[in-house]
Amino acid sequence: MSQPLAGLSAIVTGAGRGLGRAEALELARLGASVVVNDFGQPGRDGSGEASAAPAEEVAAEIRAAGGQAVAHLGDVADHEQARELVKLAVDTYGKLDILVNNAGILRDRMIFSMGEDEWDSVIRVHLKGHFNTTHFASVHWRARSKEAGGPVYGRIVNTSSEAFLAGSAGQPNYAAAKGGIVGLTTSSALALGKYGVTANAICPRARTRMTEDVFAGFGEPTGDELDPLAPEHVAPLVGYLAGPAAGKVNGQLLVVHGGMVAVVERPCVAAKFDTAKEVFSYEELDEALSPYYADRPANETFAASEVLGLKRG
């Protein structure tokens, strides 16, 4: 079996279940030594007592298959715990090469019903959690690059969502966090490229504990075939982006699910209007913009089933 990640070490956050677990197993299968991070709280909203069990179980599964893995029970949204996570990888394996940010929670509510804590907690885990680990990993790679006198090997794979791309009415906190992660990714890609580090983001579609109600009835397998929304469809792309073959893939956003990968273009200008005077007036903007929007569909926010391209089973 080809092992393009042999000799490399990786961190996968939120790796005790679902997507993170599948990604950690895939990186290990490809030869990487893995730090399996999971805070271990049972509730998808971040509730419940933290437990080492999910992370320990995945690390044990990797070791049983002949790979190398250690578990880390820690909250990546806590700055110091994120520092300790990166330090654990470096102390255990001598260096860090790959960072996969996957940890997250959901606290869904419509914007008019959402409380401050529901907003803050989701932004904290998703966006701050991605920042914390990326910060300490980038400090490590920059120092190594300076010592080596040139680029080193570094890969960041972040987890965004189509909730950012298409909107999600009941998830303003989640959609905002996932949009922020794309901004963090493109900024990191520009800042770290000279050190040999790439940063990319994926928008995965997967049936997990986090999304079981969202995807209920969509594309469910009727026989023994693999669920089209199984996390195992997403993990190979993470393995590729973490590998040497993806050295020229940087600052990209990719949608992935069920045997499909779509490369998302950066936003482009759809129309442009210039004032005939020095400054636009209300009336001139009305004359220019109102007809443009009048000719477009009344609501261009697609229904979830249209965006996801899914059918109910």
Which residues are the active-site residues?
A: 161, 174, 178
**Helix and strand numbers, DSSP H then E, in the chain:** 10, 8
What is the separation, in whole angstroms, between the first and last Cα of the chain? 36
253: left (phi over 0), alpha (psi -120 to 50) or beta: beta
Q: What gap in Å lies between CA 126 and CA 106, rounded to an integer?
A: 10
Residue 137 corresponds to which tokens in the numbers above?
A: 């990993």
Q: Name the nearest CA neighbour of 104 among 84, 133, 80.
A: 133
Residue 140 corresponds to which tokens in the numbers above?
A: 């490590």
Q: Name the nearest CA neighbour of 95 among 32, 46, 39, 48.
A: 32
208 DSSP 8-state letter: S
127 DSSP 8-state letter: I
Q: What gap in Å lies between CA 154 and CA 132, rounded to an integer?
A: 16
Element of type H or E holding 162 = helix 162-166
Where does 169-261 have alpha helices with state H? 172-192, 235-242
> How many Cα atoms occupy the beta-carbon half-sphere of 22 within 13 Å?
16
Q: What gap in Å lies between CA 100 and CA 158, rounded to an integer?
A: 6
